[in-house]
Amino acid sequence: MNTDYKDRNHKKWMGLKYAVQGVKHVFQTEKNFKTHFSMSIIVIILGFFLRVSLVEWAVLFTIMALVISLEMINSSIERIMDYLSPEWHSIVGDIKDIAAGAVLLAAVSSIIIGCLIFLPKLIALF
């Protein structure tokens, strides 16, 4: 019983370790991920500087997490398709384009949200 609990706990931590490895891997290999990550850091710094409200923080973190998560899923889909179908095929192209389109939609939304939250505060500074 006790060993069983320890085993489950160990597996849980190993799962977390692999997930962190996944984030590290995508950070090291995907240029777009680095761009989204850097943009998120800038947004957080700007958020502190412009004293955004709790609700605004919640909106900003939700959209940042969405963009970064979609970028990771997109990278994952690209790898799956390259592994399953290394040859050129229009359906593979469609699948990759759709996954990339999802990231684009979220990224455009994040720019709009950033403008809605930050622009009035920046304008008020001048």
Ligand X SMILES: Nc1ncnc2c1ncn2[C@@H]1O[C@H](COP(=O)(O)OP(=O)(O)OP(=O)(O)O)[C@@H](O)[C@H]1O
Among residues 13 and 88, whose Cβ is nearest to ligand X? 88
Instruction: Report d(CA 122, CA 115) in Å as an integer.
Output: 10
Among residues 69 and 85, whose Cβ is nearest to ligand X? 85
Among all residues, whose Cβ is closest to ligand X?
A: 93
Contact 60, 117 (CB under 8 A): yes
- The residues binding ligand X (CB under 6 A) are 30, 32, 74, 78, 85, 88-89, 92-93, 96-97, 100
Among residues 44 and 100, whose Cβ is nearest to ligand X? 100
Minimum distance, C-beta of residue 34 to ligand X, in the bound complex (Å) = 11
Whether 71 is catalytic is yes
Buried-exposed string 65-94: b where 16+ CB fall within 10 A, e elsewhere: ebbbebbbebbebbeebeeeeeeeeeebee
Positions marked catalytic: 71
